[in-house]
Amino acid sequence: MSLFADILSTVFERRYVPFGLGRVDSRPLPDLTAELIGASGEVTGQAAARAILDRYAGMDDAAKRAFFTHLARERTIDPAALRAALEVYEKGEDKASYRALMQAAEPPRQELIRRLNQVPGATRALVAMRADLLRLGRGDDALMALDMDFRHLFASWFNRGFLVLRPISWESPAHILEKIIAYEAVHAIDSWDDLRRRLQPADRRCFAFFHPAMPDEPLIFVEVALTDGVPGSIQALLAEDRKAMHARDAKCAVFYSISNCQAGLASISFGNSLIKQVAADLSAELPALKTFVTLSPIPGLSRWMEAEGLKAKDDEALRRLAARYLVKAKRPDGSPLDPVARFHLGNGAQVHAVHAGADTSDKGRKQSGGAMVNYLYDLSKAAQNHERFATAQEVAQSAEIRALAAEKGQ
Amino acid sequence: MSLFADILSTVFERRYVPFGLGRVDSRPLPDLTAELIGASGEVTGQAAARAILDRYAGMDDAAKRAFFTHLARERTIDPAALRAALEVYEKGEDKASYRALMQAAEPPRQELIRRLNQVPGATRALVAMRADLLRLGRGDDALMALDMDFRHLFASWFNRGFLVLRPISWESPAHILEKIIAYEAVHAIDSWDDLRRRLQPADRRCFAFFHPAMPDEPLIFVEVALTDGVPGSIQALLAEDRKAMHARDAKCAVFYSISNCQAGLASISFGNSLIKQVAADLSAELPALKTFVTLSPIPGLSRWMEAEGLKAKDDEALRRLAARYLVKAKRPDGSPLDPVARFHLGNGAQVHAVHAGADTSDKGRKQSGGAMVNYLYDLSKAAQNHERFATAQEVAQSAEIRALAAEKGQ
Amino acid sequence: MSLFADILSTVFERRYVPFGLGRVDSRPLPDLTAELIGASGEVTGQAAARAILDRYAGMDDAAKRAFFTHLARERTIDPAALRAALEVYEKGEDKASYRALMQAAEPPRQELIRRLNQVPGATRALVAMRADLLRLGRGDDALMALDMDFRHLFASWFNRGFLVLRPISWESPAHILEKIIAYEAVHAIDSWDDLRRRLQPADRRCFAFFHPAMPDEPLIFVEVALTDGVPGSIQALLAEDRKAMHARDAKCAVFYSISNCQAGLASISFGNSLIKQVAADLSAELPALKTFVTLSPIPGLSRWMEAEGLKAKDDEALRRLAARYLVKAKRPDGSPLDPVARFHLGNGAQVHAVHAGADTSDKGRKQSGGAMVNYLYDLSKAAQNHERFATAQEVAQSAEIRALAAEKGQ
Amino acid sequence: MSLFADILSTVFERRYVPFGLGRVDSRPLPDLTAELIGASGEVTGQAAARAILDRYAGMDDAAKRAFFTHLARERTIDPAALRAALEVYEKGEDKASYRALMQAAEPPRQELIRRLNQVPGATRALVAMRADLLRLGRGDDALMALDMDFRHLFASWFNRGFLVLRPISWESPAHILEKIIAYEAVHAIDSWDDLRRRLQPADRRCFAFFHPAMPDEPLIFVEVALTDGVPGSIQALLAEDRKAMHARDAKCAVFYSISNCQAGLASISFGNSLIKQVAADLSAELPALKTFVTLSPIPGLSRWMEAEGLKAKDDEALRRLAARYLVKAKRPDGSPLDPVARFHLGNGAQVHAVHAGADTSDKGRKQSGGAMVNYLYDLSKAAQNHERFATAQEVAQSAEIRALAAEKGQ
């Protein structure tokens, strides 16, 4: 039976033979990828695409690495063909030579990935495939080049214009909420009761970006606390016995945790858009909100202090060192040493305040001696902050931080 | 005020200043496109993107052509840079040289279009932009090359995996239904009452593909009649006074009209997927359905008869000529002369039956002397049909058609 | 086969034998109603209920009148039984005697109607049944007494707490919109284009109450125009070529049409709640709205003028007579003669302004010489207005109306 | 400020002063109930209704009992007035005398409860109020008579025709799922993981009835296991390590737990409808399902054995005693002694099989020595079963049960 019969029977009978359960096409994978790339349009492509995805789903790491290596080596660009197409194009830039050049300039694996995506539900499988690639390909230049093609396509598919912001609440479906528990990367959620405390009170909010082709998979989410003032302790902010305030009375929105959910979407940036969009939505809903601020970890502080041979004799000294670290410690390229600082300063935020004893968890004590920082998203200064940061690597900071960082001594 | 302030104020205040109403950025468009392509990530891009889209929305055709020409000439590939990157890559295929090659090989306008799409609602505007380009650029090689880039991106964005099939019924929103009335291309819908007759009876169905980023815009739709047997008259099929049958008693599903809705998505093929998906869904819902067939126009029959100097003296002669035309009349490349035949045969359907007096409308009489044709989607033969058509240009046909086409005389 | 088998087979097979299509139970209707009232709980009731509804659906008016007469005469209260139960109760008010009294005091047809309502979809059928009863029973005391029981139950079922307010827009389902066209009672909607002009512009709104058991049937709807000031002409308000304003700039919300949709819900009052709820929702959405006003017909003006032998020599005279009519013409019980006035004054509105030449349609000229009136819903005065109206039949009115009504002469 | 002002300000400003937070009306409650009953239509009623509900929400048990006593004594029927109305009616049964009789025959508290329900969200509050009444009024005849009026109204409001069946799954909102955990009355759900095991596997289903006015509150739910054959052990059925089967392969649907959720809806029967509706829906979805059966506890078995001085020496003896108990042990009125048996036999089910060692939990061992029973819902016999049970108290039973119950000895 030919492939096309396969497609049609799959399509017409897919209520009986769901994705992944059918008879597996046993031909060598290179044959399948060749067929999928070369197939005459979409007509016969779906069967090959499904076969490849089904096969992939059953592979162990060695087989996956072999598959990636096949794509990396045999479905890459052909320099000679590209050179030939380029020469024709340079002689006369017409439509036909442009088309030929574009075809030669794109590695066939890009079209392969696009055609794999024709299968219903494939987007999620492809995101998982890239997670495998990142895990297995580290240090292998050819596989990292292959990853560039995945990343290139994903940046197009997961374009901001295609993402949907959805509030996450205690009324959200349980199968989404269990992912929030699983993916929380900053302050672990240790039970459903803990989750409820982060979602249900009137002064708590959570928002996530979703992609329509993966509606059950949050891509990134942010947890927000509505407060009266800028907070200086994560434990106080999340205390079980605190009394919730009315949202309409809150003056400050605190972004206290941002977590990426999909390893397969690494380097596809959503965080900046998410913070802005959430701030916009909250601002529209709650006009009393005047301050948008984070309560953020300082993950590299302890390591830096150790490297520099610095010790904090008291809280005040720790705050001084934290301020100094955040505004003065740099990577060779001049950007801030602290990764969280790089993210928020790159978004146009400023270093607003530092607090000792702000995160008394083991992790907090270990990474920063318990210190945390507020980055302030101040609308009237954000544009200027961003431009100075981008062009002159100037770190926006409050007067208090400036003074603290300038103090002498440990 | 810098651009970034612009973004943020737009974002934070967009409930007050909706898209398209803000102060227009008056800088030259090339400055804006340069900024958007070069912007450091997504942070400052949205303001420039919005400015370009706002400006575009106010342009007349001359200005649009100038804008397209700018993209075609100044945001295209740089052959010298591509050659240089290729040479480096050929010397050592590592990650860095691959990245550089990929960047040089992609015309900057592709990234420009992707970044324009960051603006909420931009997808629809970009589809409309391509419709303009196709209208204004006909015959201009540089603009047609630009169109290839649009088409390349749209093929990725409107990938089958991202489309959603939705039934259209008399319970659908009126603003969608008025688009069905407007876009129907085969058998015009002349009023809301006419539309209701196509949607509301138990033996009528309609389905459309939608893209999540344009949820109010059908991309393509198909109208279906559920019948007892294969029909031979479109007027009888659509008669106002016919008696509707129960859907569960129908044995035959007739695809009697397929219409593309978006000029800006020309050449992005959806029809094949739509027919298959609808057939699959109907088959699952209504197990008594055994036959999936079209009732299709023969748009080129009269023209061909005239060119060949043929005349039909009676209905039987017309059927004979229609059969001969459909299975034997070819284009220089060997494919069928009739465009509708090319579409359905390319999908694996067969020419099943021809009918005289089947379309008594002015249009029907003019284009085919009133003749119509059924293309049969027979699952057990479709794969073989497709392969023979694709490889040997063999036209699948019923015995009856074969006999008819073989008859001598006009 | 017993009734219970009937139920179960109906229930289990209802995807094959939908409501109304089954074999009809041919026993005399009194047997069926006796069985339904007496059935042991809900277990066997549904089959009898369905049988009665099916039979009813096929009846002509004579048969319906006979059915209603059966309910009126044979399923009414038994005075002797009630007297007996009352005597027992008076001797000792315990739980058992109360239960017996309550049973004797409720006519069995109430329980019959409740049990008919167990059938899925029956609520709509019962509302239609009452419409028949009102039509056929006019002037027949026994049938009007039966209607009191329908009305009593419907007042409970269609309690404000169970109603849902939904906006109606051009994005609403077409099968709902065609009902808006059909039910509009004040200013006829003559085409789908006309409907679109009432729904789609940014300064137009429409809201309806729905009941969850009849989600496709609006119960009552109100059409609203958002304007700059209080309008004095319905034709100007609805002009095809007017320019729509931004909703957020509107200062005035004009309720220009309120229509009841269900004849079977006559005397179940929704209008007061609808206006209040819509005003509340609009006020929350559009803070600039300061004035809530109607533009209402004066249906009894011409008739009153004729009865009083009054003629208006010019517009100003017509306004004077209209004001006088609205605030001074009374029914024997002291309430306003004009039915629309009774409705709005009863809601606490005041007579705000009258306009000549405000409705130039045939209907408008005939009923009121073209005059219309604004009733003002002024929040700070509505409570006082209502109380004075309810207790002292005092008509709230603006100073302008008071002066106009006091003017002498025709 | 008058009441009407109160309404309007509440209505117009309720976005600022949500339900329950406003200034409390401090007048004596009898004044408020008098006002609400007597209020001129719905216009002023909502404020009084809201005031009563707000006040009630703050009451302790003593105050609640006093409130109920007020309703029981002072808002009950007036026998003298009823007698007078009855006499007028008996003299001439016209519309006016019927209306007067109906008004006299209905205790004013019924209208009071209906008018309380006008407040948005009141239905839930009234259901909770009846739960209080049942708790506080036990043994007080006047309060139990008051409860009859609540029950009478609730039977009308929660009529089968108004209920909605919804599947409950792992994709349901968490705030609904936590109620499933809380309300499960038969086999306790001890954690979210346990809940997931009951909802997520392909062979597990759960369904609940909801009322549209309380969309967040399940009224009753049933848990279903899809199996190959009739099960004989609840622990095996719910085992953590069992392997889920494909739903489409299941031949048997097991209703293993039915739980009522609302104490305030006691005696309003939903269970019979729920089982039938779920069976109908499952049967439509999964044609392979042939058997609908319960796996039910035998709550009164141990108590009966003890009362009868019976002991089971082994499993076989226990099965024999269980069969005997289920089919022969009766209450004085001749109905089965076992409450679960009464429910299912009343629905037309038959006693199908008994199992020893079927519930090894503490509760199971205690109430029935670990025995459980399957009640079979056999469509072809259910009608006959029900009628024989209802008329002759005949217990439908399988041949196996009949033989077991007939065996001699313990």
Instruction: Tell me, letter by letter, the H, E, C secondary structure of chain D.
Output: CCHHHHHHHHHHCCCCCCCCCCCCCCCCHHHHHHHHHHCCCCCCHHHHHHHHHHHHHCCCHHHHHHHHHHHHHHCCCCHHHHHHHHHHHHHCCCHHHHHHHHHHHCCHHHHHHHHHCCCCCHHHHHHHHHHHHHHHHCCCHHHHHHHHHHHHHHHHHCCHHHCEEEECCCCCEHHHHHHHHHHCCCCCCCCHHHHHHHHCCCCEEEEEEECCCCCCCCCEEEEEEEECCCCCCHHHHCCCCCCCCCHHHCCEEEEEEEEECCHHHCCCCCHHHHHHHHHHHHHHHCCCCCEEEECEECCCHHHHHHHHCCCCCCHHHHHHHHHHHHHHCECCCCCECCHHHHHHHHCCCEEEEEECCCCCCHHHHHHHCCCEEEEECCHHHHHHHHHHHHHHCCCCECHHHHHHHHCCCC
- What pLDDT does D24 receive? 61
Residues 6+ apart with CB under 8 A from B298: B322, B325, B326, B338, B340, B341, B354, B367, B368, B371, B372, B373
- As a whole number, mean pLDDT of residues C247-259 equals 96
Instruction: Identify the helix (H) or strand (E) that includes residue C200.
Output: none
Contacts of D173 in chain A (CB under 8 A): 170-174
Determine contact, residues A88/A102, Cβ cutoff 8 Å: no
| pLDDT above 90: residue A410 | no
Which chains have 3+ CB pairs within 8 A of C? B, D
What are B7's strand-pairing partners? none
A196 vs D contacts (CB less than 8 Å): 174
ipTM for this model: 0.86
pLDDT per residue over D115-149, tens digit each?
Answer: 999 887 899 999 999 999 999 999 999 999 999 99
- Give buried/exposed letters for A162-194 (b at 16+ CB in 10 A, else e): bbeebebbbebbbbbbbbbbebbebbebeebeb
Q: How close, in Å, is residue C357 to chain D by CA atoms?
A: 33
Asked if the domains C161-294 and C297-406 are classified in one and the same CATH topology, the answer is yes
Please, which residues 239-268 of chain B have a Cβ atom closer than 8 Å to chain A?
Answer: none
Predicted local confidence at residue C40, as pLDDT:
60
Q: Which of A13, A14, A166, A178 to mutate to test the interface with D (most CBs of D within 10 A)?
A: A178
Strands C252-260 and D350-355: unpaired
- In chain A, which residues have their Cβ closer than 8 Å to the Cβ of B152? 102
Whether A296 and A322 have beta carbons less than 8 Å apart is answered as no
A101–B141 C-beta distance less than 8 A: no
d(C-alpha A199, C-alpha B174), whole Å? 37
pLDDT at A186 over 60: yes
Say if CB A111 and CB A73 are below 8 A apart.
no
Please report which helix (H) or strand (E) contains residue A375, including its range.
Answer: strand A372-376
CA distance B107 to chain A (A): 9
Q: How far is B373 from chain A, CA to nearest CA, in Å?
A: 22
B and A touch with 3+ CB pairs <8 Å, answer yes
pLDDT score for B204 = 97
Q: What is the reported pLDDT for C63? A: 96
| A173·D175 Cβ contact <8 A | no
Q: Is C181 on the interface with B (CB under 8 A)?
A: no
- CB-CB neighbors (< 8 A) of D386 in chain C: 4, 43-44
Q: What is the pLDDT of residue A220?
A: 95
| Mean of pLDDT values over A324-347 | 94
Q: Give Cα C376 to chain centroid, integer Å.
A: 21
pLDDT of residue B233: 97
Q: Which of C1, C12, C269 sits opposite D42 (nearest CB)?
A: C269
For residue B67, is it left (φ>0), alpha (ψ between -120 and 50) or beta?
Answer: alpha
Pick C170's closest partner by Cβ from B170, B172, B174: B174
Q: Do B174 and C177 touch (CB under 8 A)?
A: yes
Q: Which CATH number fits domain A161-294: 3.40.630.180, 1.20.210.10, 3.10.450.50, 3.40.980.10?
A: 3.40.630.180
pLDDT of residue A43: 61
Residue of D nearest to C267 (CA): D41
Residue D42: the pLDDT is 54
> CB–CB of D382 and C1 under 8 A?
no
With an 8 Å Cβ cutoff, are A196 and D177 in contact? no
Rounded-to-integer distance, Cα A66 and Cα A250, Å:
55
B257-315 tens-digit pLDDT: 999 999 999 988 887 789 988 998 899 899 999 999 999 999 999 999 999 999 999 99
Rounded to whole angstroms, the Cα distance separating C270 from C260 reads: 9
Those residues with Cβ within 8 angstroms of residue C96's Cβ, 6 or more apart along the chain or in another chain: none
User: Cβ of C99 and D277 within 8 Å?
Assistant: no
Best residue in C178, C180, C193, C197 for a mutation probing chain B (most B CBs within 10 Å): C178
> Is any Cβ of chain B less than 8 angstroms from the Cβ of A165?
no
For chain B, which residues score pLDDT lower than 70?
1-24, 39-45, 379, 410
Quick: pLDDT tens for C12-45: 332 223 233 345 677 889 988 998 887 564 566 6
Q: Which chains touch D (3 or more CB pairs under 8 A)?
A: A, C
| Nearest C-alpha in A relative to B157 | A157
**Each residue of C161-194: pLDDT tens digit?**
888 888 999 999 999 999 999 999 888 999 999 9
Per-residue confidence (pLDDT) for residue A42, from 0 to 100 = 53
Neighbouring residues of D302: CB distance < 8 A, sequence distance ≥ 6: D366, D367, D368, D369
- Cβ-Cβ contacts under 8 Å, A387 against chain B: 2, 4
Stretches where chain D sits below pLDDT 70 are 1-24, 39-45, 379-380, 410
Contacts of D217 (CB under 8 A, 6+ apart): D124, D127, D179, D210, D211, D261, D262
Report the amino acid identity of residue C288. Answer: A
Largest CA distance in chain D: 80
Beta bridge partners of B372: B297, B355
Phi-psi region of B295 (alpha: psi -120 to 50; beta: other; left: phi over 0): beta
Q: How many whole angstroms from its chain centre is CA C249? A: 32
Q: Is C342 on the interface with D (CB under 8 A)?
A: no
pLDDT at B70: 97
Q: Which of C298, C296, C286 has the alpha carbon at shortest distance from C227? A: C286
Write out B356-406 in H/E/C secondary structure. Answer: CCCCCCHHHHHHHCCCEEEEECCHHHHHHHHHHHHHHCCCCECHHHHHHHH
Instruction: Report pLDDT digits (tens) over A67-119.
Output: 999 999 999 999 999 999 999 999 987 889 999 999 999 999 999 999 999 88
**Domain positions in chain C:** 3-157, 161-294, 297-406
Residue A57, chain B, CB below 8 Å: the answer is no
Residue from B13, B168, B175 whose CB has the most chain C CBs within 10 Å, to mutate: B175
The nearest CA of chain B is from the CA of A47 a distance in Å of 12
pLDDT in tens, D42-71: 566 677 888 899 999 999 999 999 999 999
Contacts of B171 in chain C (CB under 8 A): 173-175
Asked if the model's pLDDT at residue C132 lies above 80, the reply is: yes
Lowest mean pLDDT among A175-179, C349-353, D114-118: D114-118
Q: Is A120 on the interface with D (CB under 8 A)?
A: no
The count of residues in chain D is 410
Q: Domain B3-157 classified CATH 3.40.50.300?
A: no
Q: For residue range A233-291, what is the model confidence (pLDDT) as tens digits?
A: 999 999 999 999 999 999 999 999 999 999 999 988 887 789 988 998 899 899 999 99
Alpha carbons D364 and D252: distance in angstroms, whole number:
23
In CATH terms, C297-406 corresponds, of 3.30.2130.10, 3.40.50.720, 1.10.10.10, 3.40.630.150, to 3.40.630.150
Q: Which of C264, C188, C256 lies closest to C222, judged by CA? A: C256
Distance from the B173 Cα atom to the nearest Cα atom in chain C, whole angstroms:
4
- Degrees to nearest 5, angle at CA D88 with D84 and D91: 140
Token representation of residue B98: 């691959």
Cα-based distances in Å from B148 to A156, B110, C63, C144: 16, 10, 72, 75
CB pair distance less than 8 Å for C3 and D383: yes
Instruction: Please report, to the nearest 10 degrees, the dihedral formed by the alpha carbons of residues D394, D399, D403, D404 taken in order.
Output: -90
For strand C372-376 and strand C350-355, is the pairing parallel, antiparallel, or unpaired? antiparallel
